[in-house]
Homo-oligomer: A and B are copies of this chain.
């Protein structure tokens, strides 16, 4: 979002959390113990959906044009947090980064992720973006994890509409791969 809006920003590396560093981060930065966090002047915002809403309001970019669109955008962002990126992100972390191998939990997460992907595939069969005919912060929230290609045991050729959607977002001016925008901490393999 920051890059798509051509805003002046810089990332800050947050090292991979240990219990100790997480406690410090919770106390000093974000009690939820999560990234991302956006600092802007005196504001410190957390939760992707909050940050995107703030930036859309401030810039007018990727925002809803009326109350109805804003509610529809919120709907997809909530779905994203509940089922779309959330299950997939945990699956990717376990299978793709921590290399846990296949477990009942990764199977559960994959089943949940696939069910949410089917909803989005079906929706994108009817329209090019999630809300209306142009990209909004709903797309930006939801598309992020689609650019990570670590193996998660999911065959994405089953979702051609989602693939075309990621390409449409990728074609926007200012788009860059998340790995090229953010410093990366190494992830310890499971002991």
Interface residues, chain A, CB within 8 Å of chain B? 31-33, 45-50, 53-54, 57, 67, 71, 74-75, 77-79, 81-82, 86, 103-105, 108, 119, 122-123
Contacts and interface: CB of A to CB of B under 8 A. Distances in A.
A104 B104 CA distance: 6
Contacts of A119: 31-33
B31 A53 contact: no
**Chain A contact surface mostly:** helix
A33 B82 CA distance: 13
A123 B31 contact: yes
A74 B86 contact: no
Nearest to A54: B71
A60 to B, nearest CB: 15
25 contacts: A31-B119, A31-B122, A32-B75, A32-B119, A45-B71, A45-B75, A46-B75, A47-B75, A47-B78, A47-B79, A48-B78, A49-B74, A50-B71, A50-B75, A50-B78, A53-B71, A78-B78, A81-B81, A81-B82, A82-B82, A82-B86, A86-B86, A104-B104, A104-B105, A108-B108
A53 B33 CA distance: 25
A25 to B, nearest CB: 12
